[in-house]
Amino acid sequence: MAKSAVKSKKPASARKTTEKNSAAGSGFQSSTLAPVQRQTLEFLRNFLAENGYGPTLKNIAEHIGVKSLSTAHFHLERLETKGFIRRGDDGMIELVDISPPQLGPSSVPLVGTIAAGHPIEAIENTTMIEIPGSMIDSRGEVYCLEVSGDSMIDAHICDGDIVVIKKQEYADNGQIVVALLEDGTATLKTYRKLKGGKVMLIPANASMSPMTLDEVSVQGKLIGVIRELQ
């Protein structure tokens, strides 16, 4: 397979960001990427800066931890579709500087990544995305998180989804919440207060067990899920 060369170029006019479809039936605008796509893009930038030429598909696959060159090629296609790179017929790839999207009054912060699996540290990388206005009307402060993991898969919350969260410090039994644990890690789970004061955080995945904890700090409750359609 021929090597793919990479170069950086700022176009005369930045491309529009790709629209995504949500489970609520409306799109949102964002320059955000799935974690592996951010990893791929950052690798392209760093490799070019350090070497003066672009990586091969094999280089990319090794860096993101996959064996298939077609998987690396897929992520390059996603970067192109979202406007972060351009690919020429000669195999050259241009890195594109994207202007911030023009966002409306229903834009909210995407503040990081939340675990829907084993707890992980929240990764804060604040940007703004526009979501359906119906998700924020009269709901108070709202923010978004990108989901990592599949412990909430049976609740139709998948790895890579964007969850819309209403900020609050309390929850009723049965609500899906962002819970901050005593060790500073955060997770997305169904909340249940037990007799005696303990809290159970319940996954929506039959292969995973609930966590019973002495105390958790509720950071907000789920009010919407937004999914990019491949």
Rounded-to-integer distance, Cα 58 and Cα 38, Å: 18
Longest dimension (CA), the chain: 67
Query: Of the residues 20, 31, 151, 166, which is catalytic?
Result: 151
Query: Of the residues 189, 195, 207, 221, which is catalytic?
Result: 189
The answer to whether the CB of 222 falls within 8 A of the CB of 175 is yes
Question: CB under 8 Å to 62, separation ≥6 — which residues?
Answer: none
Rounded-to-integer distance, Cα 71 and Cα 66, Å: 7
**In this structure, are strands 211-213 and 199-202 parallel, antiparallel, or unpaired?**
antiparallel
Catalytic (active site) residue 189? yes
Taking the chain, what is the end-to-end CA distance rounded to the nearest angstrom? Answer: 25
Rg of the chain over all Cα atoms, to the nearest angstrom: 20
∠ CA 133-136-140, rounded to 5°: 155
How would you write 94-110 as a 3-class SS string? Answer: EECCCCCCCCCCCEEEE
- CA contacts within 13 A on the Cβ side of 204: 18
Give the residue from 110, 82, 78, 90 showing the smallest Cα distance to 15: 82
Question: What residues act catalytically?
Answer: 151, 189
